[in-house]
Amino acid sequence: MRIFHISDLHIGKQLHFYNMKDDQLAILGQIIDKAKELRPDAIIIAGDIYDKSVPSAESYMIFNQFLNDLSDIKPDIPVLIIAGNHDSAERLDYASAFLEKDNIFVSVQPPYIEDEYLKKIVLKDEYGDVNFYMLPFTKPGYVRHLFEEGVITSYDSAIKALIDRENIDYSKRNVLISHQFYVSGDASPEICDSEQVYITVGGIDSVDIDRIKDFDYVALGHLHGAQSIGMKHIRYSGTPLKYSVSEEKHAKAITMVTIKDKGTEITFDKIPLYSLRDVRSERGLLSDIISRATDENRHDYVSITITDEDEIYKPKDQLEEHYDHILEVKVENSRTKAQLEATDFEATVLKPFEAFKQFYQEMQGAPMSSEEESIMVDIINKLQAEGED
């Protein structure tokens, strides 16, 4: 069975106030073309379809057209979609029953009542059945009521309890589709600057891959960089487009997974995707940056850092004559570095734990002990978990 794995479309995303509609339409068109050419047996979209929980009408139209184009491919290619943390369950679930007539399956929330379970889609190939378990983005508060008091204390325990509840037969071929922040013991996946929000004090939102390692393949969404985490068969597909300058080194692609008979090694291929405009940075003297502008790169989304020591007359105006999608223009030289160092104490925003440590030191005249630090981390984690619920 050959599977296309994509995620984090973030339809409706704006990059520094630039509308990315044309970029997204182009990349979704490439996915359609590759589906027609390579004829996968299934397409997985592992969450964050939209960039906002209340998408614009334009965003709805873009995704609707994408689904229409997929459903026009005959014979049908099943499409399996889960909700991510950016998606509104109610809005994404709209017309899901109708979509199933075209083999488009949507799961927007985990089980809520006692006799509900994860949505399970069974597809067949020459080796038999492949069971797809669909696990949309889940917070502990979504499922705590399904279990005895004290069972669900974290994201990790919530996912473990939901998976255990399914009584999965691991002698068969099983695929999990999930949208969470997974770690492998003390090892975390690589994240971009724009994804720092996913990391909290003590890793409260993380789930260990030990909970999902027995699946034959785990199709993950949530992070923008394509990567495996802990094991080869547990993978983030990454975004199909670059959505921040911190992603400029990413090679965006469709992850194509080939699953054969049970026990046979799964193979992976990357199908490159090419954006209308690159997202990248330029750094150096103003004259050098201008000299590097070409017909091929002048339309890119560009973050520019100027290092000239001398004052420059209207640098952005000069740059806009050569680059038409400038994200930001920064000046970095000895003068600005000195100013930054002088005001650094004013600009620093401490995380809750660091702020409390500093407060404790000032009030007590001594640092916190390791035991006190551990207690404080537990308190902050608990408060953040209650805020997430």
Q: Which of 272, 299, 332 is the last residue of a domain?
A: 272
Same domain? For 38 and 98 the reply is yes
pLDDT of 67 strictly over 50 = yes
Cα(353)–Cα(345) distance, integer angstroms: 17
Please give the mean pLDDT across all residues of the chain.
89
Distances (CA, A) of 62 to 21, 56, 65, 67, 339: 8, 10, 5, 9, 45
Same domain? For 290 and 239 the reply is no
Same domain? For 291 and 367 the reply is no
Same domain? For 379 and 315 the reply is no
Least confident of 155-159, 173-177, 383-387: 383-387
Q: Are strands 42-46 and 181-183 parallel, antiparallel or unpaired?
A: unpaired
Same domain? For 70 and 154 the reply is yes
Using CA atoms in the order 30, 33, 35, 36, what is the torsion angle rounded to 10 degrees?
Answer: 180
Total tally of structural domains belonging to the chain: 3
Mean pLDDT across 214-240:
96
Owner of token pair 């399956």: 105
Same domain? For 338 and 254 the reply is no
User: Coil, helix or strand for 92?
Assistant: helix
Q: CB–CB of 48/86 below 8 Å?
A: yes
Q: Are strands 18-19 and 14-15 parallel, antiparallel or unpaired?
A: antiparallel
Same domain? For 355 and 320 the reply is no
pLDDT digits 0-9 by tens, 342-361: 555 454 556 677 777 776 66
Same domain? For 291 and 149 the reply is no
* Joined tokens for residue 353: 């734990």
Domain span including residue 70: 2-272
Least confident of 82-91, 127-136, 219-228: 82-91
Q: In which band, very low, low, confident or very high, does the pLDDT at 380 lie, cut at 50, 70 and 90?
A: confident
Q: CB–CB of 93/106 below 8 Å?
A: yes
State the pLDDT at residue 366.
Answer: 62
* 227 CB-contact burial (10 Å; exposed 0-12 / middle 13-18 / buried 19+): middle
CATH number at residue 207: 3.60.21.10
State the pLDDT at residue 97.
Answer: 83
Q: In which band, very low, low, confident or very high, does the pLDDT at 96 lie, cut at 50, 70 and 90?
A: confident
Same domain? For 265 and 375 the reply is no
State the pLDDT at residue 39.
Answer: 97
Same domain? For 149 and 286 the reply is no
Q: In which band, very low, low, confident or very high, does the pLDDT at 339 lie, cut at 50, 70 and 90?
A: low
pLDDT of 273 strictly over 60 = yes
